Structure 1
C-alpha cells in the first residue's frame, strides 16, 4: 500500500528541499567552503527545519508521503577545483588524472569538477566510483554523438551538469529505444542540471535528458527536442528553477518508477516551462505536484496526468491544448492560477488512464461512485472543455477558490459531472454549458447556489443579479450554452435571483434544481437528498 501521511505539514521549499539518498538526515549548512574536497560531498538534506508554512496542506500531505530526492546545489562545489577538458573535433585533451581519452570517447573516472569547452564528435562518459560526486561544467561545449548517448553516466553517486554563466552549450544524439542509454544525456544515477548558461539538447531516437534515479532542474536556459520524453527522472523529477522549452514525441516531463509507491513523482516548484508534447505534458506514475513556477503546456493527450494524486497549490499553469486537461484519481486545487482548454474533459478525477467518466458521446465509466475525488480549496481555475468541465467518478468538493467553467455544447456531457455529488461550502463557481447532462450542487451544500436554463452564444454577457437588481457576478461566454449554475457566498438558498443573458432575464430560486436535464438525481443538478 502507498504510504499516506495525513498531516498538514507544509513541506519544504527553502531552496530546493530535497534529500540525498546516501546521506543521513542531518542539516547541511547553506554555504560550503570553496576548499571543500571534490571526492564525496553531501547533498542537501530535507529536515523539519526546512518546513515552509506557505505550502497548503493539500500539496504538503503528498510531499510528506513521497520519498526524498537528491540535488547537488551550486554551493557544494568550487570552480576553483575544476580540471580542464578541451574538446577538439574527433578527440579531446586533458591533464587530469581522472580523465582518459580513447579516440572520440572521453571517460571521467574519478570524483571532481571538470570544465568542458570546445566541440566533440563523440561521447563523454562518467565511470566513477559508486560514492563519487562528479560535476560537469559545460562552458561553450558542443557534444554530438551518432552512436548512443552524447553524455552518459555509467557509475557515480551524484552527478551535476552546470551551465557556465554566459555559455551556450549543445548536446545532440540519436539514441535508440533498445539502447542501454536511451537519451542524449543519460545518467544511471542521480542527476542535477544547474547554472545560468544555456543548453540545447536534441535526441532524434529517444529521450532528451534521462536519469534512472532522481532528476532535478535548478537553473539554466534549457531547450530539449526529443523523439520520446523530453525530461525523465525515473525515481523523481523536480524543477525548482530555470527556463525550459520542451518539445516531445512522448511526454514532456515524466517520472515512472513503478516499484516504489513513494517514488515516481513530478514536482514543479519553480521556473518557467513551455512544453509541447504528443503524449502528456506532465506524466507521473504516482503524484504530480505544482507549488510554484509558470507552466505552459500544449499536448495531444493529457495536459497533466498522475496515477495516484495531483495537487496544484501555487504557480501559474496554462494548458492551451489537450485531450483531457488534468487527470488523476485524487485532484486537489488549492492555489495558483490554472487555465485549461481541452477537447474532452477539462478536469477529470478518474481512476487511471483507461477510466473515463464522461468522455464524448456517452456515460463513460457509469454512474456509480468509485471513490475518486476533486477538491477545490483555493486558487483561480478557468476551464474551457468540449467534454465535461469538472468531472469526477466520485465526489466534487469546493471549500474556496474562484472557478469558471465553460462547458460542452453537446448534450452528452455537462459543465459539471459527478457520480458522488457536489458539495460546496465556500468559494465562487460558475458553470456555463449544455443542458442535457447539467448538474448542480447538492441540496445539503452549506453554501447557496442557483441553476437556470438560460441560453446564449459565444460573446454573450451572463449576469447574476439579486432581488434588488444588484449585479453579483458577470461573465462573457466563450461558446453556445443552455444552462448556468452559480454559487458564491452572496447566494442564499430560498431567495429569488435573476440570470440574464444579453438582457434576457430568467428568474430562479436558489437551491432548487431545474427540471429537464439528465444530471445526477434527475433534473439539472439533481438536488441530492
Structure 2
C-alpha cells in the first residue's frame, strides 16, 4: 500500500499504452533434463520449455535402484555410492535411491558430481533434524525427489536455528544448491520450525504430488525460478507462500504456474517474484496475505484465482512490504511509472478482496479476456484499480467496487466500453447489476465490502447506448457518449467523461462533486501534468 497524494490534474495521456499487449514473454531454453532462463517474463506459449519429460517422470526401475533403510543409528545400504555415519546418509553418485524408514534426528546429503543426476524415491520415509536440513543437496547437476503412490513422507527441520556444517547457508527443511524437482503420486509433508520449507538455489520445479508445507519463512523458494506444472499444495508460511528471487541476476527470479491446486496462507505475500509471475492454469486460493500476488510483471492467462490481501491484491513492481526491500526498490518518486512493470489479464477467473489497492501496477494494466471481480479498499487512500502508466481493456469482464477516494477507470486507449460511477456508500454483501436499455441484466455480482465507487466493463457495452447500474439502494443511468464513461485519465473528475450524469436514486448525488463539470480553470490540456509533478502522477 503506497501513500498517495490527491492531485486534481491527473494526466495519463503521456503514458498511453505502448505495445503493452505484445510485451508478453521472453525466450526460454531448456535441455532434456535441465533448464535455463534468458529473461524475466514468461509466456504461456513457453509451457513446454518450463518442464522436461524427466521432470514429469514419476516411474523408476526398482531392480536398478539402490535401497536405503533408515533407522536411528542403524541405517543400512549395500551400495558403495552411499556412506552412512551415524544418522547422516550421504549419496555420492548418479542413480536412483529408494528411502524408507525414519530418522528422528538425521540428514540425507547428496554430494555427487556436477554432471550427475540423482533421483531420491521416498517410500514411506520420515526424517527430522533440529540443527540443519532433513535433505541437503550439496552438489549434483539435478536432483529429483519422487513420492511413491499411497505413501506418507515427512521432512522436517524441528529446531529453532541452523548450525553451519559447511560454507553454505542452509536455512530450509529441504535445501538444494542445484536444480531441484519434486514429483510423485504420494504425499510429502515439509515442516520448518525456523527458516524456509523448500529452497533451491537454482530452479525449483514441482510437477505432481501432494504437499503440505508449514514454514516460519517462505514455503517454496527458488533463486532462479519456481515452476509448477501440477499437484496439490497446502502452504502455511510466515513470509511468502511461493517466492522467487535472484539478487545477482534481475532477469531471473520468476514464478510460473501451469496448473495445480493451491491453498496458501502467508504472513507476507501469497506469491512473490522479483521478476515475472505467470499463471496459465490451476486453482489458487490465497486465504491470507499481505499482498496476494506480487511481481515486477504479472501475466494471468488462465486458472481460477481467489485472493484475500491486507494490502494490494495484485501488485506489479512491489509495495511497502518486507519482501519489497529484498526484491525491488521503489525509488524517490512513488508515483512514477516503473520500467517493465505491467499486469496483463487475458483469461481465467480472478476474485480479489483487498484492503489496499485491488489491481495495482506501477506501470501498465491490460485486460483482454477472462473475468475479474474486485472487492477493493474501504479507505480513500487506495482504489480498486490503480496504475502509474496506462490501463487498457479490450475484452473480458471486469467488475470492481471500492472507495471513491483514489478511484481510477481504464483509459481512452480501451476498445471495450467501460463505466465508472461514484455513489453514496453502500453496505457490503450487496448486489451490483448492469442493465441495458431494455432492462436486460448484462452483469451481476456481489461486493464483499462497503463501497462508493464501481467500475464495470463487459463486451456488451456499446458507444451511444444507455445503461443502468443498480447498487444496493442506489441506481444510476449513464449514456455512453464515448467508450469510457467516468474516466479520470486526462485530469477529469470520475463520472464526467461520456454520457449523462444521472441522478442517484436513493442517494443525494445530484449536483455533487462527481455530477458537475469541473470549472474551466481547473482543466488541464490533454497530456499535461501539474507544475513540478512527474508524468503519470496521481
Calculate the TM-score normalised by the size of structure 2. 0.75
Alignment CA distance shift 1:387-1:220 (3 Å): closer
Greater strand share, structure number:
1
Q: Which whole-Å CA distance do the structure 2 matches of 1:5 and 1:503 have between them?
A: 38
Q: Secondary structure at the match of 2:406?
A: coil
Q: Secondary structure at the match of 1:80?
A: helix
Q: Which whole-Å CA distance do the structure 1 matches of 2:281 and 2:27 have between them?
A: 13
Pick one of 209, 230, 239 that aligns with 2:228. Answer: 239
Pick one of 416, 436, 439 that aligns with 2:408. Answer: 439
**Would you say 1:97 and 2:80 are equivalent positions?**
yes
Q: Which whole-Å CA distance do the structure 1 matches of 2:473 and 2:265 have between them?
A: 41
- TM superposition shift of 1:130: 2.2
Q: Structure 1: any 5+ residue segments left out of the alignment?
A: 13-17, 21-27, 29-42, 47-56, 331-343, 346-351, 358-363
Q: Which whole-Å CA distance do the structure 2 matches of 1:427 and 1:250 have between them?
A: 33
Q: Give the match for residue 209 of structure 1.
A: 198
Q: Which whole-Å CA distance do the structure 2 matches of 1:247 and 1:395 have between them?
A: 31
Q: Structure 2: any 5+ residue segments left out of the alignment?
A: 1-19, 321-326, 498-524, 527-538
- TM superposition shift of 1:82: 1.3
- TM superposition shift of 1:96: 0.9
Q: Which whole-Å CA distance do the structure 1 matches of 2:55 and 2:453 have between them?
A: 53
Q: Secondary structure at the match of 2:368?
A: strand
Q: Which whole-Å CA distance do the structure 2 matches of 1:460 and 1:378 have between them?
A: 26
Alignment CA distance shift 1:378-1:290 (3 Å): closer
Pick one of 174, 178, 197 that aligns with 1:189. Answer: 178
**Would you say 1:228 and 2:217 are equivalent positions?**
yes
**Would you say 1:471 and 2:441 are equivalent positions?**
yes
Larger mean Cα displacement after TM superposition, 486-495 or 126-135 = 486-495
Query: Over aligned residues, Cα RMSD in angstroms?
Result: 3.8
Q: Give the match for residue 320 of structure 1.
A: 308
Alignment CA distance shift 1:177-1:311 (3 Å): farther
Note the alpha carbon deviations across 1:132-156, whole angstroms, 9 max, x for none: 2222222112222233222222222
**Would you say 1:119 and 2:132 are equivalent positions?**
no
Q: Give the match for residue 340 of structure 1.
A: none
Superposed, which structure 2 residues align to 1:59-458 within 5 Å?
59-60=43-44, 72-74=55-57, 77-120=60-103, 121-173=105-157, 174=159, 176=161, 179=164, 180=168, 181-306=170-295, 308-329=296-317, 355=330, 365-366=334-335, 369-370=337-338, 372-443=341-412, 445-455=414-424, 456-458=426-428
Larger mean Cα displacement after TM superposition, 473-482 or 232-241 = 473-482
Calculate the TM-score normalised by the size of structure 1. 0.76
Structure with the larger RCO, 1 or 2 (CA within 8 Å, 6+ apart): 2
Alignment CA distance shift 1:324-1:453 (3 Å): closer
CA contact (8 A) 1:149 1:175 kept: no
Q: Secondary structure at the match of 2:43?
A: helix
Q: Which whole-Å CA distance do the structure 1 matches of 2:230 and 2:155 have between them?
A: 20
CA contact (8 A) 1:11 1:63 kept: no
Alignment CA distance shift 1:178-1:297 (3 Å): farther
CA contact (8 A) 1:300 1:321 kept: yes
Alignment length (residue pairs):
464
Note the alpha carbon deviations across 1:231-268, whole angstroms, 9 max, x for none: 22222221122222222222222222222344222211
- TM superposition shift of 1:70: 9.8
Q: Which whole-Å CA distance do the structure 2 matches of 1:58 and 1:108 have between them?
A: 35
- TM superposition shift of 1:81: 0.8
Alignment CA distance shift 1:379-1:105 (3 Å): closer
Q: Give the match for residue 493 of structure 1.
A: 463
Q: Which whole-Å CA distance do the structure 2 matches of 1:422 and 1:471 have between them?
A: 26
Alignment CA distance shift 1:284-1:62 (3 Å): farther
Alignment CA distance shift 1:242-1:399 (3 Å): closer
- TM superposition shift of 1:524: 0.6
Alignment CA distance shift 1:9-1:172 (3 Å): closer
Q: Secondary structure at the match of 2:101?
A: strand
Q: Which whole-Å CA distance do the structure 2 matches of 1:145 and 1:118 have between them?
A: 15
- TM superposition shift of 1:385: 2.9
CA contact (8 A) 1:448 1:511 kept: no
CA contact (8 A) 1:85 1:115 kept: yes
CA contact (8 A) 2:409 2:488 kept: no
Larger mean Cα displacement after TM superposition, 400-409 or 141-150 = 400-409
Note the alpha carbon deviations across 1:39-85, whole angstroms, 9 max, x for none: xxxx2789xxxxxxxxxx98347879x99889544368522211221
Q: Give the match for residue 483 of structure 1.
A: 453
Q: Which whole-Å CA distance do the structure 1 matches of 2:478 and 2:371 have between them?
A: 22
